Amino acid sequence: MQPKLSSCGGLSNDLANLIEQLANIRSEMLTLEKEFSQEISYVHSVHRDSARNLLHYMALRRHDLRQLQTKLASYGLSSLGRSESQVSANLDAVLKALCCIAQQPFDDFEYDFSQFASGKSLLHKNSAALLGPAPQGRTVRIMVTMPSEAASDYVMVRDLVKSGMNCMRINGAHDNEDMWAHMVENLRRAEREVGLQVKVLMDLPGPKLRTGPTESVPGVIKVQPKRDRLGNVIEPAKVWLTPTESPQAPTSDINAVLTVPKDWLSYTEPGQRINFRDARGKARSFKVSMVVNESRLAESEQTSYVISETMLHVFKNGHSKRCRIGEIPRLPQPIILKVGDVLHLLPTHDIGFAAPRDEHGCYLQPPSISITLPEIFSDVRTGEKIWFDDGKIGGVIRSADKNRITVEITKASPKGEKLNADKGIFRIRNYNFQL
C-alpha cells in the first residue's frame, strides 16, 4: 500500500526526496509481489511469507542504496543494511520515522513492530533446519562443498566432520547419483565415529547456459624431477609403467602414469634403461627401479615431454625391443580472449575454435564457440551484458540473430583470459542488482 503523504510544503527538498525514494521502493516491492502472485501460491504455506520477503529483497536490491544509506544515517535512521529477515517491515519503519521527522501523516498504513521479531525468529528457525543447530563456541556455521574425492575418501570426510563442518553441500551439477550416495554414506559413517550430526544440502541444478566443446590437441605428459633453487635434482621423477590391457593403480606417489603393451613390459627388469626421444626430439631415458606384479616403477633425473607417438625401446641380450606408449587423452584447447576481441556464439554443437592472430596479436577472424541452450537466440537483445566462467570474462552483445550472437569482450585480464568448454554463461537483462 503506497503511503499517502500530504503536501510537503516547508520540507527541505532533501527530506522530501528521501521520503519519495523510499515510497517508490515500497511500491515496487508490492508490484513485484503482485507480479509473482501465482508463483507464490505454489510455495508451501509454511514458506510463503519467506517467498514474499525474497521478492521484496529483490526489489530493494535493484537500487544502488549507497547514497540513500548515507542520507538516512544523517537523520540517525537505519541504513537498510540489515533488513534481510523482514524487508518490508524495516522499510516501513524507516518511512514512518521519516514522516514523523517531517511532521507529515502516513495515511492508510498499518505498521506492526512484531514483524521484526517474527522475521528474526523465522530466520533462525530456517537456518537451523537447513544448516543444523548453531555450534558452540562460534556464531557461524561451516558448509563445505564436496569434491569428487569425497565419494571414495572416507578419511577426508571424517576429518572435515572432526574439524567442525556443520553442513555437507553436494553440487548436483557435478558427479553422479552413485558418487553422491557414497558421499552421504561416508558422512553418516563419520557421524557415528565422531559423535556429531551434520546436515546435507543438495543443490539440484536446472538448465544452465554453458559453453560448448572446443578444439582439442594431443595430450602431453610432463615428467619432471624435483630440483632445488639452483636446478640440481634432489628427487628423481617417478614413472608408473602399467599394461595397456590391464592397467594397475600405482602403489606409491608418482609423477606420471604411462600405459604400454603387456608383452613389451614383461621384457623389462630392474636396472634396465628405457630410452626414447621426447616430444621435443631430446634423447631421454627412464631407469626401471622396481617390478610390481605386471607393472614397473621407473625413475628419471631429466625433464621430458611424452606424447602418444613416443616410442620406447630397451636392450636385452643384444636385442632391442620397441613399443609405442598407450593413448594419452587429448586436451581441450581454450580460446584466449582479450579486451576488444570479438567472440561469436553459435546455436549448434560445432566445435569451438580460436582463429589465428596477426603479428599485432589480433584475431584474423573472430573465434567462435557453441552454447548449450540455443533457445536464448530468439530472446537476447543488443546491448545486454554477458559474463563467462563466473565473471572472469565479460562482454556486451553487439548483434544477435537466429544464427549467431556477436559479443565484444570488455573484461579480461591484461594477458588474456582462457575460455574453456562447459563454462557457465550469465547475461544481464532489464535488471541490475547492486549486491
Q: Tens of pLDDT along 294-305?
A: 999 999 999 999
- Residues comprising the chain, all counted: 435
pLDDT at residue 429 greater than cutoff 70 = no
Q: Is residue 290 part of a domain?
A: yes
259 and 300 in one domain? yes
Same domain (yes/no): 20, 121:
yes
* 419 close to 354: Cβ distance less than 8 angstroms: no
| Same-domain check for residues 116 and 191 | no
**Separation of alpha carbons 412 and 410, rounded Å:** 7
Q: Which of 76-85, 158-167, 313-322 has the highest mean pLDDT?
A: 158-167
Q: Which of 95, 129, 163 is the last residue of a domain?
A: 129
- For 67-85, what is each residue's pLDDT tens digit? 888 888 888 887 677 777 7
109, with CB counted inside 10 A (0-12, 13-18, 19+), is middle
Same domain, 27 and 50: yes
Q: Residue 370 belongs to a domain with what CATH number?
A: 2.40.33.10
For 250, the domain range is 219-324
* pLDDT at res. 430: 47
Per the domain annotation, does 258 fall within a domain? yes
Taking the C-alpha atoms of residue 305 and residue 230, their distance in angstroms, rounded to an integer, is 22
Same domain membership, residue 354 and residue 414: yes
Distance CA 421, CA 351 (A): 10
Q: Where are the beta strands (DSSP E) in 148-198?
A: 167-171
pLDDT band at 55 (very low <50, low <70, confident <90, very high): very high
Name the percent of the chain lying above pLDDT 90: 54
- What is the grid cell recorded at 416? 588474456
Phi, psi torsion values for 318, nearest 5 degrees? 80, 5
Query: Within this chain, do residues 311 and 411 fall inside the same structural domain, yes or no?
Result: no
Residue 192 sits in the same domain as residue 283 = no
308 in Cβ contact with 219 (< 8 Å):
yes
Looking at the fold, whether 359 and 316 belong to one and the same domain comes out as no
Whether 2 is in a domain gets the answer: no
pTM above threshold 0.85 = no
pLDDT, the chain, mean: 87
Which residue, chain included where needed, has cell 610432463? 222
> 104 and 175 in one domain?
no
| Domain presence at residue 293 | yes
| The domain boundary residue, chosen from 301, 324, 347 | 324
Torsion of CA 182, 188, 194, 199, to 10 degrees: 110
How far apart CA 190 and CA 350 sit, in angstroms, is: 46
Type and span of the H or E element at 200: strand 199-203
For the residues 104-131, what does the mean pLDDT come to? 70
Domain count, the chain: 4
251 occurs within a structural domain: yes
Instruction: Judge whether 400 and 312 are in contact, CB under 8 Å.
Output: no
- Kindly state the cell numbers that stand for 171: 553440487
Residue 25 and residue 121 in one domain = yes
136 occurs within a structural domain: no
Considering only residues 138 and 258, tell me which one the structure prediction assigns the higher pLDDT: 258
266 domain residue, yes or no? yes
Judge if 272 and 300 occupy the same domain. yes
pLDDT-derived band of residue 106, with 50, 70 and 90 as boundaries? low
322-359 per-position pLDDT tens digit: 999 999 988 888 999 999 999 999 998 778 888 787 88
Last residue of a domain, one of 129, 158, 187: 129
Report if residue 254 sits inside a domain.
yes
The set of residues, in sequence order, having a beta carbon less than 8 Å from that of 22 and lying 6+ positions away, is: 68, 91, 94, 95, 98
- DSSP state for residue 47 in the 8-state scheme: G
Q: With bands split at pLDDT 50, 70 and 90, how would you rate the model's confidence at 110?
A: low
Instruction: Say yes or no: 62 and 45 in one domain.
Output: yes
